[in-house]
Amino acid sequence: NKREDKNGSICLLSELRRAPACHLQLDPLTFTRTHSVFIDVKEYSRTKSLIAQPGQHVWNKDFVKMPCSKESHMTKTKIGISFEVARWDEIFEHLGNLSKKPTASVADVEKAIKKYNPKYGDRWSFDALNTFVKKTPEQENYYTSVFPKIAELAIKLPQCIKKAIPLLQKGQMRSITLSQFQIACLLANAFYCTFPHRNSQNPKAEYHNYPSINFNSLFENWSERKREKLRAILYYFRTVTDSGTKPSGLVTFERRFISEQHMPNWRSVNEMLPKLHVTSEGCIEEQGTGMLQVDFACNIIGGGVLGSGLVQEEILFLINPELIVSRLFTEKLGDNECLFITGSQQFSKYTGYSDSFEWMGPHTDSTSSDEWKRKHRQIVAIDALYFRHQSEQYNMRQITRELNKAYCGFKPNDSIPPDYIPAIATGNWGCGAFNGDPQLKALIQLMAAAKVKRGVAFFTFNNTRLENDLRKMHHLLVTLKTSVGNLYNLLGDYCDVMRKNSTREELFTWMEKRLEQRSQL
């Protein structure tokens, strides 16, 4: 390949490690103090069947408050008298009735939801769901027959999940493994807006630091974007409620935190830049299969997936809807934190981006699975900083924050030998909605990948100029044997000149000159 020869430091995509080829066999599935497994692990090791792990629900600040917990109450009024009832009884009654119908209208769905969310009776609108169903041509309109099936799935919650789901809170290292069926049941509950204490927008509300999970925001404010989102989500529910296509694996959600004192001292990191494959063609989720795939996240995981947002993270969550369940238990990410999701399934195909995004139909996910029945798909959610003005980012405090964030996301478990660690599939992290400088962010990610000794597949998303510039810059840095520490200092110098307004040059142009001057000395 001529292009590769010209820039010797660049590698082919095939030279980067991926799962399952580099997969290290896992120990038998067990739960620990920090890993909650929701299927019976003994039964799993004996028969490989997935049955719910016994336990009980807990109603306190450390666990998800479940709609089927006995502590969940609501007030009902009959002939002027108010009294408390178990909220799950109400949910069970209304969704139970709905589940018995062959088809249900949007009005039926709305009526049921408002019965056990009486506070929101005149606040929640279902216009998007309504318009969506009305506008869908009859021959494609399976939606009204899927609404009862989602209700049937939702009311299975008490049998499906028998123990308390811990919240993945700030500063914790904790993980949760659920079966895909359990996730579907939780998402069916989210669809029917059953989760208690999750609807308040008040900044002092109990879950103010958590993403929203009930789907009411998806059902309001009709737009073309909503149409495509609903097509993807309802297709997911159709698949998981059909006995022929029901998924049967597990998915793990893991929150990781690295304390400040365990972060690298970037100034003195000696590693050189890692192997890089950079291309303007393809995208993370297709060409990066089997690698660690970066979700360009919001610190509120999933960002605007249940609202109007429709960029990289939201699209990822729409085509892999199991990712949405992370919103149920993942507290807003702090600067030194990230979330790994292993084993989610891709259900849909898509085309376009943002306003041009379109659901393109079913995707058959043939990704193989590991010993825990998790698909060989690992996604890491890392949130970049949002810059109102581009100039804010040329500052070593912000650069160090981004380096630490990327390091947290890229660092593999210490127990895995280097040959078994897949490369990282990433791209313009933080450079769309969050306004970052693609050149700076590419270097930051390469520096973090260097520190953890992982190769990088970098997808510039049609940006051929960035592809060429990054290839050239990588080549220069590798040829000059520039260490991460040197690069960190160089970035410090660039920030200084930017602050003093003494250059208008882009980072790479400025660096090239600087490096050439140095190499001539």
Residues found near ligand AR6 in the complex (CB under 6 A): 283-285, 296-298, 303-304, 309, 311-314, 384, 427-434, 459, 461
Which entry of 108, 110, 313, 467 is annotated as an active-site residue?
A: 313
Nearer to ligand AR6, 297 or 476 (CB): 297
Question: How far, CA to CA in Å, does 42 sit from each of 38, 178, 363?
Answer: 12, 15, 33
CB-CB contact of 338 with 408 (8 Å)? yes
Respond yes or no: is residue 295 known to be catalytic.
yes
Size of the chain in residues: 521
**Closest separation between CB of residue 61 and ligand AR6, Å?**
26
**Closest separation between CB of residue 202 and ligand AR6, Å?**
22
What whole-number distance in Å separates Cα of residue 515 and Cα of residue 503? 16
Which entry of 108, 228, 285, 314 is annotated as an active-site residue?
A: 314
Phi then psi dihedrals of residue 460, to 5 deg: -85, 0
Which residue matches tokens 């041009």? 356
Nearer to ligand AR6, 171 or 352 (CB): 352
Nearer to ligand AR6, 69 or 336 (CB): 336
- Taking phi over 0 as left and psi of -120 to 50 as alpha, with beta for the rest, 388 belongs to alpha
Strand (E) positions, 315-438? 337-342, 348-351, 358-362, 378-383, 424-427
> HEC string of 420-433?
HCCCEEEECCCCCC
Which entry of 108, 295, 337, 469 is annotated as an active-site residue?
A: 295
Nearer to ligand AR6, 264 or 430 (CB): 430
Neighbours of 514 (CB within 10 A): 15
Nearer to ligand AR6, 254 or 467 (CB): 467
Respond yes or no: is residue 138 known to be catalytic.
no
Nearer to ligand AR6, 16 or 250 (CB): 16
Strand (E) positions, 343-386? 348-351, 358-362, 378-383
What whole-number distance in Å separates Cα of residue 83 and Cα of residue 172? 40
**Closest separation between CB of residue 169 and ligand AR6, Å?**
20
Nearer to ligand AR6, 154 or 310 (CB): 310
**Closest separation between CB of residue 302 and ligand AR6, Å?**
7
Nearer to ligand AR6, 232 or 433 (CB): 433
**Closest separation between CB of residue 299 and ligand AR6, Å?**
8
What whole-number distance in Å separates Cα of residue 340 and Cα of residue 251? 10
**Closest separation between CB of residue 305 and ligand AR6, Å?**
8
Task: Please give the residue whose beta carbon sits closest to ligand AR6 in the complex.
Answer: 303
Which residue matches tokens 């209208």? 105
Strand 337-342 vs strand 378-383: parallel, antiparallel, or unpaired?
antiparallel
Question: How far, CA to CA in Å, does 432 sit from each of 47, 304, 385, 390?
Answer: 47, 14, 11, 11
Neighbours of 515 (CB within 10 A): 19
**Closest separation between CB of residue 413 and ligand AR6, Å?**
25
Amino acid at 255: R
Neighbours of 389 (CB within 10 A): 7
**Closest separation between CB of residue 434 and ligand AR6, Å?**
3
Alpha carbon 410 to its chain's center? 15
Token pair of 263 as six digits: 């972060």
Question: Which of 520, 521, 496 shows the shortest CA–CA distance to 507?
Answer: 496
| Close Cβ partners of 444 (under 8 Å, ≥ 6 residues apart) | 399, 402, 403, 406
CB-CB contact of 506 with 473 (8 Å)? no
**Closest separation between CB of residue 352 and ligand AR6, Å?**
11
Nearer to ligand AR6, 160 or 297 (CB): 297
CB-CB contact of 240 with 184 (8 Å)? yes
What whole-number distance in Å separates Cα of residue 342 and Cα of residue 376? 7
* Per-residue DSSP letter, 450: H
Respond yes or no: is residue 505 known to be catalytic.
no
The residues that are catalytic are 295, 313-314
